[in-house]
Amino acid sequence: MWTRPLVLALMLGGPAAAQEPLSAIDWLGQDLAEPSIAPPAEPAPRPTSPDEPPVTRDARAPQVDVGPIGAADAGAAGLLPMSVTGLPRTLWTGSDPARLRRLIEEADPAVPALAALLNTLMLAEADPPGGAEGFLGVRVARLMEEGALDAASALLDRAGPARRSLFPVWFKVALLTGQESAPCDALQDDPTLTEAVAPRVFCAARAGDWPRAALAFESGRALGDLQGRDADLLERFLSPEMAEELPGMPPPVRPTPLQFKLHEAVGEPLPASALPRAFAVAALSGDRGWKAQLDAAERLARAGALSENRLLGIYSLREPAASGSVWDRVAAVQGFEEALRDGSDEELARALRTAWPLMRAQGLAVPFARFFGPDLAGRELPGRAGRIAAEAALLSDDYEDASHRIAAETDALRFLVALARGEAPEETPALPHAAALAAGFAPGAESSALTAMAGENRLGEAILRAMALFGSGADGNGNDLSEALGTLRALGLEDTARRAALQLAILAEDVR
């Protein structure tokens, strides 16, 4: 048992004997990704409701001024006010809290447009359902699951996280973003924020208060409140000299954010690639190497938690170090950028034919299209490259403008152009889900049950259920797909419906 000599070393030797762990975690840095959300595109004229609420395009936090609010309003905290989303403050109030929690936890957006819509719901300023004190925590947990840690952190800041109900999730988010100073300082000022011993030990040691860290560690272990991997890691963290005599620890299957941080601090970092998406943020800084940074960036961009600009910036940092897997995508995108900038149409067509299937295969077609699609809309490329360019343009933010610029020379392209304009296609080409997608843009396609639900202060629940219907439709149930699209349009989410339809039509084999 190392506890007694550990405590003596810390109590008598002071901070000089234990400075190494602090320096070991110091390099993790503060802000690993800019908290910014691309602003909603200006709505183009179309024969639908002009009151459609704009949705976010990804899961990053918007650039807004935030500050803590009173306890009574913490549950309604949001980064996107009603003036931005168009969603009412009563978005959730009529729904059963337990049912709502289950719908949020089980939400599985079938296409990026619905992932963006889910993100908007989680960030919207709206009153929680009655009797749901922990509803803000449910929203933050969902953002964490998507890897949207900047958004989760900003939402917590808006609510004022220095309270017992929010401290646990605040501490987790802060550890994964390298911003643990704030919750640790709050805990030092108010130890009642948590009854957990491990955060107290970690924060006391991080602040250089070695006597307090040692006392908390010893008493927690003696009382059985600190045991297992937490105790072993904190022991090594507090006394690296003693830890040198101990064997390495086997990696945990499901580490907590604190365990992940401590493993790194004691020189036994865990690979983030095998862990839940939230842990990928730790590799974005590049300190774990470019390969790990690339893998993390792709993983987060796929979920909409990293902007396409940031992804392409990481792709462009240097020349590929090898071939295969991510290196092939880096080389292909770099070659495509060069061809787009300086190449002939033939060179551009060749580069596009190389890059597009590689990005599609990894679920990265939408980030690629959002970045390059507008530049491809007006390019007349031959053969398959021309079709790819048109599809990329229709997957971009400027999809409606692109629908007027591309040459729709095939039944499939004419079908996609109609969807982009919010029209029911006149012909049904040989595309997956074509008939169901077309029916979704016909009058009366909506679910009357869900539209009625929206009128009962259950709009958020109705949207979540429409998303589930879309997922069922993407799995092959055509009626559900048509109802989902019709419902989204009836609820004023025309832009989301068009994007979702285009993404499913173009990327059907990549969905699910």
Q: What is the pLDDT of residues 379-411, one digit of tens each?
A: 899 999 999 999 999 999 999 999 999 988 899
| Distance in angstroms (rounded) separating the CA atoms of residues 501 and 504 | 5
In 3D space, the residue among 97, 92, 57, 98 whose CA is nearest the CA of residue 78 turns out to be: 92
Looking at residue 62, what is its pLDDT?
Answer: 56
Q: Is 298 exposed, middle or buried (0-12, 13-18, 19+ CB in 10 A)?
A: buried
The answer to whether 161 touches 183, Cβ cutoff 8 Å, is yes
DSSP 124: B
Summarize the confidence of residues 494-503 as an average pLDDT. Answer: 98
**Percent above pLDDT 90 for the chain:** 77
Summarize the confidence of residues 208-226 as an average pLDDT. Answer: 95
In 3D space, the residue among 427, 328, 346 whose CA is nearest the CA of residue 386 turns out to be: 346
Q: Is 267 exposed, middle or buried (0-12, 13-18, 19+ CB in 10 A)?
A: middle
Summarize the confidence of residues 476-487 as an average pLDDT. Answer: 98
Q: What is the pTM of this model?
A: 0.85
The residue that leads in pLDDT, 465 or 56, is: 465
Looking at residue 240, what is its pLDDT?
Answer: 81
Interval 219-251: pLDDT, tens? 999 999 999 999 999 999 998 877 677 788 899
The answer to whether 43 touches 189, Cβ cutoff 8 Å, is no
Looking at residue 60, what is its pLDDT?
Answer: 54
| Distance in angstroms (rounded) separating the CA atoms of residues 368 and 357 | 11
Query: End-to-end distance of the chain based on CA atoms, in angstroms?
Result: 50
pLDDT higher than 50, residue 332: yes
Indicate the pLDDT class of residue 38, thresholds 50, 70 and 90: very low
| Distance in angstroms (rounded) separating the CA atoms of residues 325 and 318 | 16
Interval 55-90: pLDDT, tens? 555 555 555 444 455 554 788 999 999 999 999 999
Q: Which residues pair with 124 in a beta bridge?
A: 80
Interior CA angle at 357 toward 354 and 362, to 5°? Answer: 125
Summarize the confidence of residues 135-151 as an average pLDDT. Answer: 96
Indicate the pLDDT class of residue 170, thresholds 50, 70 and 90: very high
Looking at residue 20, what is its pLDDT?
Answer: 35
The answer to whether 72 touches 119, Cβ cutoff 8 Å, is no
Looking at residue 46, what is its pLDDT?
Answer: 43
Interval 406-464: pLDDT, tens? 988 899 999 999 999 999 999 999 899 999 999 999 999 999 999 999 999 999 999 99
The residue that leads in pLDDT, 9 or 43, is: 9
Interior CA angle at 385 toward 381 and 391, to 5°? Answer: 100
Looking at residue 58, what is its pLDDT?
Answer: 57
Question: Exposure pattern of 427-462 as b/e (b: 16+ CB <10 Å)?
Answer: eebebebbebbbbbbeeebbbeebbebbeebbbbbb
Looking at residue 378, what is its pLDDT?
Answer: 82
Q: What mean pLDDT is reported for the chain?
A: 87
Token pair 């964490």 is found at 144
Q: What is the DSSP string of 135-203?
A: HHHHHHHHHHHTT-HHHHHHHHHHH---STTTHHHHHHHHHHHT-THHHHHHHHH-GGG---HHHHHHH
The answer to whether 158 touches 79, Cβ cutoff 8 Å, is yes
Phi, psi angle pair for 85, to nearest 5°: -80, -30
